[in-house]
Amino acid sequence: MERLLVVIFILQVFSADHVLSEYQLDRLKLLSEVENGHNLMEHFAEKFDTDTLCQKHSKIYLDERNNLTGWAFRMFDASAKIPDGISFGKKSLMGAFHECLDVETPTVLKWGDGYVEGFKGQYMSVYVAPKRAQKQTRMPIFLPGSQGILEMAGGSENQLGSIDFRVGLCVPSSCSLDEITGGLNELQNGALTVFAFNGVVKDKDVHLDSVDKVFISLCSFILIGILIGTLMEIFLVIQAKMSLNILNNPLTNGQKFFLNFGLYANTKRLLDTTPPKGDHLSCLDGIRFISISWVMLGHILSAEMNIFPLSNMVSFIGVYDRFEFQAVLNAFVSVDSFFLMSGCLVSYLMLKDLDKTNGRINFPLLYLHRYLRITGFYAFLIFFLSTVWRHLAIGPNQFLEQAADECGKTPWVNLLYINNFDLGIEEQGNCLGQTWYLANDMQFFLLAPPIVYITWKWDKIGLLIIAILSAASAAVPAGLTYAYGWGTTPVLPGEDEDPKYSYMEWNYFKPWNRFSPYIIGILLGIFSTTLKANLSKCLRWQICGAGLLLL
């Protein structure tokens, strides 16, 4: 029936001399080939022999729905139907998530001459897209969860304006993701890319494996440390107010260890906005704020397009034509300002230390300090994402199971900061896709200390090296762009782009294409150190601002 309505709608549109865009027409044609949730289950139950419990429950559901049984009607009502707004770009047909989870049948159900156990409603999301989509404008994978659905869809990059749908179905809890996916693919004979994900059942038992328990134990230890450290802080504050002599006793190493977990001191330090004393490039604070706001706008845009339900894609894309929106649409270059600041701070601070120590520097300790300073929390986050994170989220639009699997495949690739390369490893995971920046920054840092040291020791040689690297950092991406036909940005792909070497994978993520702002930052840090004593505060701000504008 729904297919007929869509076909009639298309005929009415053309008979009324209206013209649909190619994008709108393709979406309508695609949806006309996809039945709603009820019909999909009907075909699923009738096409196959009712051997599995899932198929038996599907058949029972259909029979009871025809009898207008309450729980069966609620299952039908909770599944997505073809809605209004399809031609306007509605991509997510969510259904009724909570209504589906509230469905519960009697404990036993009649089946033939016998009985089978009852079931609960299970909400599943189904991804539907053409098998061979035409070349589309791409967007990068900014969020960790977005990679899971793309891996299952057989793609490596997200697409802007792609003709796809996400449909919510209410199916029996006995059905697995593989069963629903297999059944749906059999029904449409491979004409579409269809797969089910995000099977959610109310009050589902949580099964923790050994790695989950290790992470929970680690969190428990940290919480105990926070409790003990905070209580010690309270005790020391009371001592100070009462002027007790015991306060003069030196703290033991154990007491110092637990005080590191204290909430009072850590919260005070976290929320402290007092500018650092001594040498501080205060202009970088403003650049950092503007840049992180710019990055967040770009990530929110990516999430709106690829993760969150969107019902007005046509009008949303129409915003792209506005002049003032071009900075948001092209937020990719916002990351370059962080590379510039990173290179600037490395050279600026290192030159100050070299002046104080008269050129004595422990390079191994320098690299070790950098690695440990960043990797501690990074490792904790990956540990969290690959273990208990999958158990914490519930909703119609989450697919944390796939994202957690990605983080659990090869976490060592992230911890070695080489996750911006395809190492040719079977099933190499893509965990926290946005951490390609950390990988690039760490790789740049391997080169920065020798360059800065040589410049401090032999300034002319150092500046010559910086000049050569600056020229190479511009020539290499220019040559690769010409060779592979890349466009100017990910949202403007080249007409002759080589599909084997995509812009995001081989240009945006690779260090040899992102080194320009970093090496310029090193040069900016050198100039700031050399000239700072002779510059006015206003002129120093102008130099920092000019460095950002050069991007």
- Residue boundaries of the structural domains of the chain: 2-201, 210-270, 335-549
Q: In 3-state terms, what secondary structure has residue 110? A: strand
Higher pLDDT pick, 363 / 246: 363
Higher pLDDT pick, 279 / 100: 100
Contact between 176 and 54 under an 8 Å Cβ cutoff? The reply is yes
The tokens describing 463, both together, are 């500046």
% of the chain surpassing 70 pLDDT: 77
Could you give the residue ranges of the DSSP H alpha helices within 425-458? 436-457
Residue 465 has pLDDT above 90, yes or no: yes
Residue 223 has pLDDT above 90, yes or no: yes
Contact between 27 and 86 under an 8 Å Cβ cutoff? The reply is yes
pLDDT, tens only, 346-355: 999 999 889 8
Higher pLDDT pick, 298 / 123: 123
3-state helix, strand, coil in the chain (%, to 5): 60, 10, 30
* Dihedral (Cα; 326, 294, 546, 275), 10-degree rounding: 160
**CB-CB neighbours of 126 under 10 Å:** 26
pLDDT, tens only, 121-142: 999 888 877 765 444 433 333 3
Residue 447 has pLDDT above 90, yes or no: yes
Mean per-residue pLDDT, 365-391: 91
Residue 28 has pLDDT above 90, yes or no: no
Q: How confident is the model at residue 434 (pLDDT cuts 50, 70, 90)?
A: confident
What is the b/e burial string over 519-546, where b = at least 16 CB atoms within 10 angstroms of the residue's CB? bbbbbbbbbbbeeeeeeeeeebeebbee
Q: What single letter denotes the amino acid at residue 101?
A: L
pLDDT at 11: 35
Mean per-residue pLDDT, 432-461: 92
Higher pLDDT pick, 443 / 26: 443
- CA dihedral sign of residues 296, 302, 304, 307: negative
Mean per-residue pLDDT, 183-192: 71
**CB-CB neighbours of 96 under 10 Å:** 19
Residue 427 has pLDDT above 50, yes or no: yes
Contact between 480 and 407 under an 8 Å Cβ cutoff? The reply is no
pLDDT, tens only, 261-281: 989 889 988 888 887 776 777
**pTM as predicted:** 0.78
What is the b/e burial string over 54-66, where b = at least 16 CB atoms within 10 angstroms of the residue's CB? bbbbbbbbbebbe
Give the least confident one: 4-8, 109-113, 212-216, 430-434.
4-8
Task: Label residue 227 exposed, middle or buried (CB < 10 Å: 0-12, 13-18, 19+).
Answer: middle
Could you give the residue ranges of the DSSP H alpha helices within 198-307? 210-242, 253-259, 263-270, 283-306
What does pLDDT average to over the chain?
Answer: 78
Higher pLDDT pick, 298 / 89: 298
pLDDT at 159: 39
Eight-state DSSP code of residue 279: S
CA distance 39 to 167: 13
Higher pLDDT pick, 38 / 353: 353
Q: Which residues pair with 195 in a beta bridge?
A: 127
Task: Label residue 9 exposed, middle or buried (CB < 10 Å: 0-12, 13-18, 19+).
Answer: middle
**CB-CB neighbours of 363 under 10 Å:** 10
CA distance 540 to 550: 16
Which residue in 50, 81, 78 sits closest to 65, CA to CA? 78
What 155-158 contacts at long range (C-beta under 8 Å, 24+ apart), as own/partner pairs, is 156/502, 156/505, 157/502, 157/504, 157/505, 158/302, 158/305, 158/306
% of the chain surpassing 90 pLDDT: 22
Contact between 111 and 51 under an 8 Å Cβ cutoff? The reply is no
pLDDT at 156: 38
Q: What angle do CA 99, 105, 109 make, to 5 degrees?
A: 155
Eight-state DSSP code of residue 158: E
Residue 485 has pLDDT above 90, yes or no: no
Residue 417 has pLDDT above 90, yes or no: yes
Q: Which helix (H) or strand (E) holds 126?
A: strand 121-130
Q: How confident is the model at residue 546 (pLDDT cuts 50, 70, 90)?
A: low
Contact between 212 and 388 under an 8 Å Cβ cutoff? The reply is yes
- Any residues with CB less than 8 A from the CB of 157 and at least 6 apart, and which? 138, 139, 140, 141, 150, 502, 504, 505
Which residue in 422, 511, 524 sits closest to 472, CA to CA? 511
CA distance 172 to 55: 9
Residue 244 has pLDDT above 80, yes or no: no
Higher pLDDT pick, 132 / 93: 93
